[in-house]
Amino acid sequence: MSGPEDGEPVLLLHGFPQSRRAWDQVAPALHAAGLRTIAPDQRGYSDGARPVGADSYALPLLAGDAVGILDALGVESAHVVGHDWGSVVAWYLAARHTGRVRTLTAISFPHLEAYWYALRHDPQQRQLSQYIAYFVSPDSTAGLLADGAEPLRSLFGDDVAPDQVKHYLDLHTRPGVLDATLNWYRSGSLLAEHEGLGPVPVPTTYISSDGDRAASRVAVDRTAEHVTGPYRFVLLEGVTHWQPEQAPQRITDEILRRVNQCPGR
């Protein structure tokens, strides 16, 4: 937690294979604007919360962790920001725990129902999602850690600063960490459609980028259909999947734009 104690709370949810450090360049700018940030290492990434077994990483449990954090801090509702898997959790929070979410800023990953639609109907999305089959395989942990974790490092390419990549690798090469964080995929939340998640009624900004291969154009475009509150779509040019690290100022600007349009209620 950082920033002024009386500032409006912003819950920052990171993705895979990152950590709360994904927000290192975003959080200080939010603090300077008077906001208070809450940036947890999520389940599996935190030394204090690393249960065994994929069932322990089901999406309702991940969202329940976020609600539990707000409860423990006495925060009734927060502006919620998520990237990658953090975005998946954030969409779920905004749809199923609406009273706890003031605004939503989802980065990279689309609304789950838009994603599931694209998986059924869009060959491009099925191709983009092929990596998941490897991540859920029994051999994925050992494979990603082979050769000094070079396969894991290669996921970042040259798009994330070396010192940031080193932090992520230092975390994920600790015993049990990568196996736990891969359980987010092994839980089946991305590939098995569940009951309809439902619409998101809170003011929402969805940020994608032209170099991000997480979602097809079909999934990106259909996301708007699942937001009933005020909606803004932002496409970042010249940016890949690692938006918080590559374009921190743009991400910060969009968070502040959304927060300032919808202050605490």
Segment 196-247, tens digit of pLDDT = 789 999 999 999 999 999 999 999 999 999 999 999 999 999 999 999 999 9
Mean pLDDT value across residues 56-77: 96
Q: Measure the CA–CA gap between 71 and 250, rounded to whole angstroms.
A: 30
Q: Note the pLDDT tens digit of each residue in 165-195.
A: 999 999 999 999 999 999 999 999 887 665 6
pTM tops 0.85? yes
Residue 78: which of 67, 89, 87 has the closest Cα?
Answer: 67
Where do we find the tokens 């329940």? 64
Q: Note the pLDDT tens digit of each residue in 141-156.
A: 999 999 999 999 999 9
Q: Measure the CA–CA gap between 236 and 113, rounded to whole angstroms.
A: 23
User: Are 97 and 75 spatial neighbours (Cβ–Cβ below 8 Å)?
Assistant: no
Q: Tell me, what DSSP letter sits at residue 181?
A: H
Q: Measure the CA–CA gap between 165 and 185, rounded to whole angstroms.
A: 21
pLDDT at 264 over 80: no
pLDDT at 257 over 90: yes
Q: Where are the alpha helices (DSSP H) in the chain?
A: 27-32, 59-73, 85-96, 112-121, 123-128, 131-135, 140-154, 162-172, 177-186, 217-222, 243-246, 248-261
Round the average pLDDT of the chain to a whole number and report it. 95
Task: Output the pLDDT for position 265.
Answer: 47
Q: Note the pLDDT tens digit of each residue in 74-126.
A: 999 999 999 999 999 999 999 999 999 999 999 999 999 999 999 999 999 99
Task: Output the pLDDT for position 194.
Answer: 57
Q: Note the pLDDT tens digit of each residue in 6-29.
A: 999 999 999 999 999 999 999 999
For 60, the 3-state DSSP assignment is: helix
β-strands 78-83, 36-38 pairing: unpaired
Q: Measure the CA–CA gap between 27 and 14, rounded to whole angstroms.
A: 12
Catalytic positions are 84, 185, 241
